[in-house]
Amino acid sequence: MSTFFSQNLRFLRSKMSEKTSQEKLAEILQIKKPTLGSYESGRAEPKYADLILLANFFEVEVDELLKEDLSKRIPGLSNKPKLRILATTVNEDNEENIEMVPVKALAGYTTSYDDLEFIKELPTFHVPFLTKDRKYRVFPIKGDSMLPLQSGSLVFAEYVEDWKDIKDGTICIVVTREDGVVLKKVINHLQEKNVLILKSTNKLYDPYPILGTEIQEIWKFAGYFYNEFPETNE
């Protein structure tokens, strides 16, 4: 068996998130933690079924997992697992809930966005005019960087699985390790440079880049709610 398999497995798990322990990954994959531990330490060769499972999960080829040092790839999206695990909840009819992230939960969301127990604690509701076959979440917006959208607005956003397909100028909720949850217009250079440029609609704020490896989730703007009538000049 390849000498790269165990180190690739450790590397790929390390790129998922800071909270993804061996135990958590084993739970997600539905394999025993000692088995995963033996794979990562090189004490056991993977069963064929587990090898296929791991390759599919991280969206790499089996040959790459076995024969290539994935940590030495040119920095880019290929250095990050493409398959993202979305923690989500459903109602009694097995329909997707729309979870709302309250202001007080925003800080916790950046570290627990993939923790099902955390997501289960968020308030949920349904909106009949949103498409049922897509996943939505609601985020509160603070500050004036996206004027005329007012601080305190609630933004409805659609989950984006494939980031590289996001079109330039799309307004998105971007969940990042360092900057938290931000609403910005994005310019997409992920495919060629592993970078998103985040732009505010308020020209007082300068655009800034963020590496793909710092991004945890992206949600596409779908609408908003604000409980006051917009101000006018009259």
What is the chain's mean pLDDT, rounded? 86
Rounded to the nearest 10 degrees, the angle between the axes of helix 22-29 and helix 48-58 is: 100
Kindly state the tokens that stand for 192.
């060629």
Segment 147-190, tens digit of pLDDT: 999 999 999 999 998 898 899 999 999 999 888 999 999 999 98
Give the pLDDT score at 177: 81
With bands split at pLDDT 50, 70 and 90, how would you rate the model's confidence at 198? very high
Rg (CA), the chain: 20
Q: Where, residue-wise, is CATH 1.10.260.40 in the chain?
A: 5-79
Please choose, from the candidates 61, 114, 46, the residue with its C-alpha nearest in 3D space to the C-alpha of residue 86: 114
Query: Does the pLDDT of residue 217 top 70, yes or no?
Result: yes
Query: Does the pLDDT of residue 229 top 80, yes or no?
Result: no
Segment 7-47, tens digit of pLDDT: 889 888 887 765 678 888 888 888 899 999 999 988 888 88
Domain 98-225: give its CATH code. 2.10.109.10
Give the pLDDT score at 18: 58
Give the pLDDT score at 143: 93
Homologous superfamily (CATH) for 5-79: lambda repressor-like DNA-binding domains (1.10.260.40)
Give the pLDDT score at 74: 43
Q: Where, residue-wise, is CATH 2.10.109.10 in the chain?
A: 98-225
